Structure 1
Amino acid sequence: MITATRYRAQVEINRQSQLGEEIAKAQAAISTGKRIDKPSDDPIAAARVAEIRRAQADQTVWSRNIQTAKSVAAQVDTAMGTAYDIFNRVKELTLAGASESVSSIDRQAMVQEMSSLRTQLNNLQVETTPTGQSLFPVDAPLLVSTSATQRLPATTQRSTMFDGLVYTQGVASLDWAIGAAIDAISTDDVATRRTLADASLANIDTAINHVTNQRAAQGVRMAQLDTAAETVEAAATQLTEERSSLEDTDVAATVMKLNARTLSLQAAQMAFAKVNSNTLFDYLR
């Protein structure tokens, strides 16, 4: 009789201890906002959270890569816009310099400005990013990892942007077109100057079209990077939401569980105290 009573008492103590642990766990979950403190709390969810954590680390790296690439791409687009403006100005100067009414002094000033624009164009070829990378690399541009399966360029090769244009006179560079315009305006004979200027204007139009096409291609690269950024952001949001659903505390449900466990423990303690307040003589009656 006494042995059985002791056994039942031990069982009740163990049950109350379990209730106390569950209450403490619920309180910790509410306090920290996390329902999983260790893998044993929910092995399946904990394993998935670990996978999500690794995926989020990858997403962070890809997002950083994309932002860097977008910065470079924007700088490239600005440089291409500058090249476009340079050739539009060269065209204006060539048109003005071809006129028979323009003075020699004025033409010299035009040539000086064209030479300055030519230098500016050549400087664009060797322009670098804030980190020292070539804006227009000599070799093929590095591809930036934007996901586990995708790599994108932020710019184009220098030769693609500045060389290989097909003019009436043959294949040459952007720089050559400005040099030809300078030669045309520097010519004193009016008839010859007009002939050379007309040819230069055709070359300059070719150069403008080339720069326009290159800038359009750069726009495609920028759009690809924007899309990649949106994809990474969407994936990051999805991972965050899934991790939260697995890891975060459902406060309302946990409070209800805490209250229920607390009431159960209080009732058990009161019953246990009442039962064990009896003496041996009470059991022998």
Structure 2
Amino acid sequence: MINSTRYHLSAEISRQQKLAAQIARAQSDISNETRIQRASDDPAATARYADIRRAQANEDVWTKNIDVASALATRADSTLDGVTTTMDRVRELMTLATTGTYNDNDRKAFAVELRAMAAEIADLSQTKDSRGQLLFPAGPSLAVPIGNGVFVSPSVSSDGLFTNIQTAAGPKDLAQLINDAADAIELTDKAERELASAASLDEVVLAVDNTAIVRGDQGVRAARLDTARERFASSALLNSEEAGKLVGTDIPETVAKLQAKQLSLDAAQAVFTRINKQTLFDLLG
């Protein structure tokens, strides 16, 4: 009888200890807002959560790269806007200079402005980025990783924009092309001037069209960066939601279970104390 009583007492104490442990764990889950405190709690969820965390870490790095690249792309586009505006004015002046309605003094004034714009173009070609490097490098521009095996160059190369423009007279720098136009409209011989000015106007129109193409290319690069940023923002939201479902504590459900277990423990302790009070005295006796 005593052994049986002791067994029942031990079993009830063990049950209440388990309840107490479950209550403590529920309180911890609520406090930490996570239901997984060790991998053994849910191996499958833990493994998936680790995959998500790795993906989030990679995407955080790529997003930072996109931010840096986007800043460079924005500066490049702003600079190209200046080039476009300048080249539009160059074309306007050359069109006026070749109409034959302006005198030598007018053409000299046009030439002065053209040379000033050539100098401006030369300065724009040397624009530096935040790292102190050329925004439009001579060779291929720096490719920035923005995904797994995905790279984007945030700005175009100077080749084909400021340098190596293919004209009928051979490759020219953009600044040189403008200076040649200024020289052409200042020629004193009318026939020679008209011929040279017409050729220079063709080169200027070619350069204007080429600048528009290059700016379109720059716009494509910026759009790719924007698309990648939006994709990662969406991915970050989905990953965060999945991670929360995998390891996050369902607070209302856990609180309800906690309260139920606490009530069970309180009731069990009260009954245990009342029923076994005399039995405990008998055992001690």
The residue number in structure 2 matching 1:180 is 180
Q: Give yes or no for contact 2:162–2:173 (8 Å, CA) kept in 1.
A: yes
The residue number in structure 1 matching 2:10 is 10
The residue number in structure 2 matching 1:213 is 213
Q: TM-score, normalised by structure 1?
A: 0.91
Q: Give yes or no for contact 2:118–2:176 (8 Å, CA) kept in 1.
A: no
The residue number in structure 2 matching 1:92 is 92
Pair 241,279 (structure 1): closer, same or farther in 2 beyond 3 Å: closer
Query: Is the deviation greater in 96-105 or in 20-29?
Result: 96-105
Give the C-alpha shift of residue 100 in structure 1.
4.8
Equivalent-residue separation in structure 1 for 2:137 and 2:23 (angstroms): 63
The CA RMSD over aligned residues, in Å, is: 2.1
Equivalent-residue separation in structure 2 for 1:197 and 1:139 (angstroms): 32
Give the secondary-structure state (helix, strand or coil) at the position aligned to 1:161. coil
Deviation digits for residues 94-131 of structure 1 (CA, Å, limit 9, x no counterpart): 23334555454443332222112111111122211122
Give the secondary-structure state (helix, strand or coil) at the position aligned to 1:244. helix
Does residue 32 of structure 1 match 2:32? yes
For structure 1, list consecutive stretches of 5 or more residues without a partner in the other structure. Answer: none
For structure 2, list consecutive stretches of 5 or more residues without a partner in the other structure. Answer: none
Deviation digits for residues 12-49 of structure 1 (CA, Å, limit 9, x no counterpart): 11211111111122122223322223333333322322
Query: Is the deviation greater in 226-235 or in 30-39?
Result: 30-39
The one-letter amino acid of 1:69's match is: A
Equivalent-residue separation in structure 2 for 1:147 and 1:52 (angstroms): 15
The one-letter amino acid of 1:26's match is: A
The residue number in structure 1 matching 2:228 is 228
Give the secondary-structure state (helix, strand or coil) at the position aligned to 1:90. helix
Give the secondary-structure state (helix, strand or coil) at the position aligned to 1:37. coil
The one-letter amino acid of 1:124's match is: L
Taking the TM superposition and a 5 Å limit, the aligned residue runs for 1:107-118 are 107-118=107-118
Equivalent-residue separation in structure 1 for 2:123 and 2:224 (angstroms): 28
Q: TM-score, normalised by structure 2?
A: 0.91
The residue number in structure 1 matching 2:272 is 272
Provide the aligned length of Structure 1 versus Structure 2: 283
Give the C-alpha shift of residue 144 in structure 1.
1.1
Superposed structure 1 runs of 4+ greater than 6 Å apart: 280-283
Give the secondary-structure state (helix, strand or coil) at the position aligned to 1:270. helix
Taking the TM superposition and a 5 Å limit, the aligned residue runs for 1:192-207 are 192-207=192-207
Equivalent-residue separation in structure 2 for 1:204 and 1:280 (angstroms): 107
Equivalent-residue separation in structure 1 for 2:245 and 2:26 (angstroms): 17
Equivalent-residue separation in structure 2 for 1:86 and 1:170 (angstroms): 22
Q: Give yes or no for contact 1:49–1:243 (8 Å, CA) kept in 2.
A: yes
